[in-house]
Chain A
Amino acid sequence: MPKLLTTEQMAEFASSGCLFFDELIDEQTNKEFLDDIGHTDIDKADSVNDFYKNIKATSSIPRIPAGTPLKEAFPKNSPLDKIFKNEVVEGAITSLVGSNTIVDHQFLHITFPTKYFNQANQRQMSQANHQDSTIDPRSTFDVQLFYFPTEVTKEMGGTRYHPGTHLRIVNEMAIAKYQNILGQKSIVCKPGTIGIFHSGLWHGAGVNFSENIRYMFKVRLQPTEKQELLWDPEKKYQPLPNRALYWTDETKDQTINDILMRPYPWQEADTNRLDKINVVKFWRLLTGHKKMDVDYWLTRIENELY
């Protein structure tokens, strides 16, 4: 039975553009996945191309035509089939992109350690910040599921990401000029961790300074239905009433609205207000409450009397 996301988790996703499930996939499945792709020591991998060629030739990861239903994508009882049938993974996917989601694409990202670059006499560089695919002005959103079959230590250069950037509409690598962004995070995790990113989240791969190969398996999923209250099929969610602004009572408990209005350190003093407006607009779409607001951001400017 899929374990649907909570309203707090949905608000977290609306605000930050990402969710993480630490050590979700069991040790046996992680081992099966690594065995399946022929995980080996760096000394036994001659080149990135040969390593990929071997994995493509021998693993059970199938070639999936774009638009294939997720339910038909992976061989039964393969490690990836087990991962997508995990009740938490299935519940999160159902909550965000529905139960009839389709696969856009998948890829096994491999980041080689320094030793490989030294042997090949190549410069070892991190991947620049980017937003995947291309300019995407839709209200509909896709998700990208990241699976980390091994431990990722700090020195392994896990995926760098920038919480709260998902609603900024940019053109793929056009954000590569931002070498560092205040509040940037890099994934450090135990084996079996799953991350789910909004398709607009800015990110990039770090440099692997460890002795081991780093893997990240990614699948991009598209919805085939409106993404409205998919996590709340009984439609129980009700927006909170207005609260006082600026002259406030700090003793109140944190609510969904505090999650939605969370500021991020990289946001400009002026544009962060537009970021908040866009989170409210996103939350309106997710909840189906077309007039709901948080902290009066939209009500104020929708009060047009002429």
Chain B
Amino acid sequence: MAKRQKVLVLYLKFPSLEAEVISWATFDGTGKKLHMTGDSDTPPYPTGLDALLDGWRLFQASQAIPEQPGEEHRTSYLKHEFFFEKLEEGDF
């Protein structure tokens, strides 16, 4: 049996897994489902914690980086990024 990785990326409203999901992306290494931009208007989970409760394993979270002096009000990318994975076994 081979193992394949599924990756779920959640962007949360604030840097705690209890926070609501505001953006999301899914990449399915099993090849069963092709996800793409704009394919869903509803988050897969209400919060990051709900993803953990469904068996997703957190493997990376964004750091808190202080704003650059003089650029404190500049806004850019979504800040609170969490990468999760699930490993699936099967004949791929």
Report which A residues bind B (CB closer than 8 A): 123, 125-129, 157, 160, 167-170, 174-182, 184, 186, 204, 206-207, 265-271, 274-275, 277-278, 281
Residues of A within 8 A of B39 (CB): 126, 179-180
What DSSP secondary structure best describes chain A's contact surface? loop
Q: With A182-B22, A268-B13 given, is the CB distance from A168 to B76 under 8 Å?
A: yes
Contact flags (1/0) for B14-36 with A, using CB distance below 8 Å?
Answer: 10000101111110000000111
Distance of A175 Cα from B19 Cα, bound (Å)? 21
Contact A174/B38 with A265-B22, A268-B22 known, Cβ cut-off 8 Å: no
Q: How far is the CB of B31 from chain A (nearest CB, A)?
A: 12
**Which one of A176, A180, A265 lies within 8 Å of B24 (CB-CB)?**
A180
Subset of 30 A-B contacts with CB under 8 Å: A123-B34, A126-B36, A157-B38, A160-B38, A169-B74, A169-B76, A170-B77, A175-B77, A177-B25, A178-B78, A179-B23, A179-B25, A179-B35, A179-B36, A179-B37, A179-B39, A180-B41, A180-B43, A181-B23, A182-B23, A184-B38, A184-B41, A206-B38, A265-B22, A268-B14, A268-B80, A269-B14, A269-B19, A278-B75, A281-B73
A274 to B38, CA, bound (A): 26
Q: Which 7 A-B pairs have the closest CB atoms?
A: A179-B25, A269-B14, A181-B23, A126-B37, A160-B38, A178-B23, A168-B75
Q: Choose among A174, A186, A269, A270 the residue that contacts B77 (Cβ–Cβ < 8 A).
A: A174
Known: A177-B9, A182-B43. A127 touches B37 (CB 8 A): yes
- Least CB separation from B41: chain A residue: A184
Alpha-carbon distance A18/B73, docked complex (angstroms): 22
Given A169-B76, A174-B77, A180-B38, 17 more A-B residue pairs with CB atoms under 8 Å apart are A125-B37, A126-B37, A126-B38, A167-B75, A169-B74, A169-B75, A178-B23, A179-B23, A179-B25, A179-B37, A180-B25, A182-B22, A184-B38, A268-B13, A268-B80, A270-B79, A274-B74
